[in-house]
Chains A and B, each alone.
Chain A
Amino acid sequence: MTIATASPQALSELDRPNSYIGKTVPRPNLDRLMQGRGLYVSDIELPRMAHVVFLRSPHAHAKIVSIDAAAAKRMPGIIAVVTGKELAAVITPWVGVLTHLKGLKSAPQHAIAIDRVCWQGEAVAAIVATSRDVAEDAAEAVRVEYQELEAVTDMRTALDSATPVIHPALGDNLAFERNLDAGAVNAAFADADEVAEAEFIFGRHTGVTLEPRAVVADWNAAEARLTIYQGTQAPHMVQNIAALHLGLRESQVRVVCKDVGGSFGIKVHIYADEMAVYALSKLLRRPIKFVADRVESFNTDIHARDHRCKGKIGVKRDGTITAFEIDDLTGIGPYSMYPRTSAIEANQVVNLVGGPYTTKNYRARARVVFQNKNVMCQYRAVGHPIACSVTEGLVDLAAAKIGMDPVKIRRRNLIADDAYPCASPSGLRFELLSHHAAMNRLMAMMDYESLRAEQAALRKKNIHRGIGIASFIEVTNPSAAFYGVGGARISSQDGVAVRLDAQGAVICQTSITEQGQGSESLTAQIVGSVLGVSMERVRVILGDTDNTPYGGGTWASRGAGIGGEAALQAAKILRRNILDVAAAILQTSPGELDLAGNAVVNAGDGAPRIELNELARVVYFRPDTLPPGIQPELMATRHFVPREYPFAFTNGVQASWLEVDPDTGIVRLLKHWVVEDCGTLINPQLVDEQIRGGVVQGLGAALFEKCVYDERGQLTNANMADYLVPMSGEMPDIDVGHVVSPTSETELGAKGAGEAGTAGAAAAVANAVNDALRPFGAVITEIPLTPQVILTALGRI
């Protein structure tokens, strides 16, 4: 890893001897997970717990004529077979809209379909049994009579008058449309020397978490309380929604989120089948477990992308970009997801296209349509890969038109590093970005000039390699502007409580959650640094609505920037409180003291004065020995939410070096570079691995992953053999470099890093493939770049 500091900033409370900030330290939860002592939902066993299997629709669109479960109910081990109508007695339907997405509409969705199924995989009945296999046996015995309806599958014709309207009450299949016209676009295109246009096609794909979605819901009738064990990114959101639709108060719902085996946005939503599990527990008054199997994960975990975006760019001969224009179309399935809605991705595309560049002329239209396919919603880097691929694809097309090097055209148009604060044509406000510093760093890391020379030499030997560059911006640390202003009860603030225990160790409760990205580690690093306590003495508790402060959780690259700042501020209060007590005990002033090495020390020479262990003993067991009037407070709580900027934007640039075999259409990834700027690096290794993991998901989108639907709305590759996830054998080495521009909105200065890798990886690969294919005159603007797509573009087949 390499770090170039753009604007160094002293971090008073953190930049201390033995600080953990900026250090690679092992994650505290590593041993537990490595030794198999993690606790995932599927590990949870409760007394009288039953298992539910959902019978799912084989049709993309059909009326449910009748359900005959008599035979299934008679089978041994079967506790209940519950239909949508029966379940509706305990749970109300919902509509996935938010008011700030003007005009967004959707239809009421039920936990289990009642009289109509709208995608292949929608649940039509719940079979509750003593074990999953018994329930599967019974599922085969449930007879459902369907009357098939015409399925709307092609987003391009979804709005045609000849196409059936999926929800007649809505009038048409248009869920959402947004138009934006900034600057003087027509004049800017007229002013351009060259105009390039293309249609960019993005395959529908999904998150494929190692651990599938899983829930154990336990309604305790005696307490009138529901406990939900679920691997979710947002426990308080789940609490709110479950209570709302089951007719409970939030205090009657506890959400416990232990270990989570990957999430990537898949587990930040409320799924109909999960709602059904909560409701079944209430209906049947016993704990119910649901663990999705791989086939149902493919059919019901949210899908993402699936955009067709027409793009246009104007450029002057000197490389100045005069305007961007896009027309984006995306199909989201039959319902807008709850509660975050399925309009966010298209909305983000409109926001982000052209974002790294100076041109003020930008026109965009985005339309979101309904289809009879699985629901689509936010998955890692929401909208960014689309916006980045379109923008960067257009920039490369423009460069080719005027015969300019792709790096040169970017340098000419990227917003200058000293131009901040400023705003994008779509109104995004940038506090401080570092596009040029990042590009300079990238050029040095990849030795761009030598690589170009190597490419030219190999081309003579009929070896076709390409270099692709993609600059990007990333939305992180969202404020209430993301969901709250639209009426969603999704908290944008987070809270942290820290306390010193009776032996001088620290217990820290945080409302952010952990799905493998290292939330636990970064919280312990911050708290340990501020309190001068070694990390192994900091215990972090997360994922329990009964036992953490109220907050949003971990999504949208917000955990470190928002939850980390709350941890910092809470720890600072506790530190002051500890020093106050210590000063009283030691008969000195707090200003003379500091905390280091698990002890109170002299601020001046660092000499130990009193161990925290001893201080805690006095406070908790011999308060009678303290001077009168002192009431120690060895617990402190702070909350934080960004208020100045709706989002803390980060930036970066990626590059791909790859080889295309023009005879086979197979792409071999040789090397990938990322330079990114997430502000303060709390744990460089965690940041680097977030970037790498994100890149791999982006490379999956670029080359492999696609949910293949046929024209009848059947998902034809819902298994791990046919849906290709990226595997290590095909992955290149990924070099990560950093530029550090901390945000001044927080003392910590951290922005998010969770999605940067995914944002730009596919764009870099697509540009590199086109760069490799330049001698053949082929330009491809579709991902995944399968051999079939490449050979077709080359005219070989």
Chain B
Amino acid sequence: MNSIVCLKQVPDTEAQIRVKPDGSDVLLQDVKFIINPYDEYGVEEALKLKEKFGQSTVTIVCLGPERCIESIRTALAMGADKAVHLDDPALDGGDAFTTARALAEQIKGMEYDIIFCGKQAIDDDAAQVGVALAEYLNIPHANLVIKVEVSADKKKVTVNRQIVGGEEVLELPLPCVLTAQKGLNEPRYASLPGIMKAKKKEVKPVKAADLKLDAARIGAAGAKSKVLKCYSPPPRTAAQIVAGESPEEKAAKLAKLLREEAKAI
């Protein structure tokens, strides 16, 4: 039962996000990075499958700059066996599609029964990579997965997906791509021996050239979407409490404010 987990490094949920003065991107200096929490569910699920079936390899595949090694090591410390790090400036500036394509190109040559992705990354919230990856690999996928049950013969998987107002149960043949939703599991906390062992586990560096994709299809050049402008949301102003003698008076004032100040009605 070999699993691949695609992992993205993202800024910590509480990190201060500032925008570059020219609005071209966000500033990532002094920011604490973490494993995308949804990807972490994927890591945990892969480890659980490994524990259940034994004789398995869990491989982390991560696309991102050098700093991502820290997150890769964290996943290895949790118990993943090895990792592939797609680290090349040529891959920078891409979007979900270039990422999925590069990942697919890398994964194609690997042995796997199942691929886990997070349902989305918490930085750009695009929620595209997992699904696009499945398309590029031409295998089925299910997203927003909150329960995974691989059959004993390792031929198919039954998953519960979160849908509005309930759950949907699907059966997929393996291999397939599953994108993890909160609720799938509780990711483990790496043990200290795990952390120490992770330092010695194999992390294979992969360059753009190794992927044999032409330059126009990777990184910024290959992206289908371009960031035009980044800006911070306007600071929230304090709420206003509408005062008045009677409810009628308050309602009248509120209507006036909504019309004249907020221009909402």
A, B in one complex: no
A residues apposed to B, CB below 8 Å: none
B residues apposed to A, CB below 8 Å: none
